[in-house]
Amino acid sequence: MGMGPLWIMNIVISILIVVGLLYSLRAYLITRRIARTKFTNALVALTAIFLLQNIYAAYMFYRMAWESPSEVAPPLLILNLIGFAGFTVFFYLSRT
């Protein structure tokens, strides 16, 4: 067992999502200063939850790379790619 390419891809995708979420969170917090609405509060909360999820996911992928068989990585990569696609739509919609 070891840090194979699929595990590294899982970690990188999670970190990319974290970076995007931090960028979004910053923008939402700036907007929240100007307009304290339920919507902006919800965006901040939702982004913070997704941020925690993806930080934890990157950590777990790192641990699993050393402890789990390599057969576990491909299905997790598919799940992570679906999550990345969802984040991309969320990011796109929140920018328009």
Please report whether residue 96 resides in a domain: no
Q: Can you give the residue range of the structural domain that contains 68?
A: 5-89
Residue 40 maps to a domain = yes
**Residue 78, in any domain of the structure:** yes
- Specify the pTM: 0.87
Q: Cα–Cα–Cα angle for 29, 25, 9, nearest 5°?
A: 175
CA atoms of 54 and 4, how far apart (whole Å): 20
The pair of structure tokens assigned to 19 is: 């970076």
- Tens-place pLDDT, residues 4-60: 999 999 999 999 999 999 999 999 999 999 988 998 999 999 999 999 999 999 999
Q: Is 18 helix (H, G, I), strand (E, B) or coil?
A: helix
Task: Judge whether 18 lies within some domain.
Answer: yes
- Residue holding tokens 């304290």? 36
Q: pLDDT tens-digit profile of 21-35?
A: 999 999 999 999 998
As for how many domains the chain has, the answer is 1
Counted residue by residue, the chain has a size of 96
Task: Give a yes or no: residue 94 inside a domain.
Answer: no
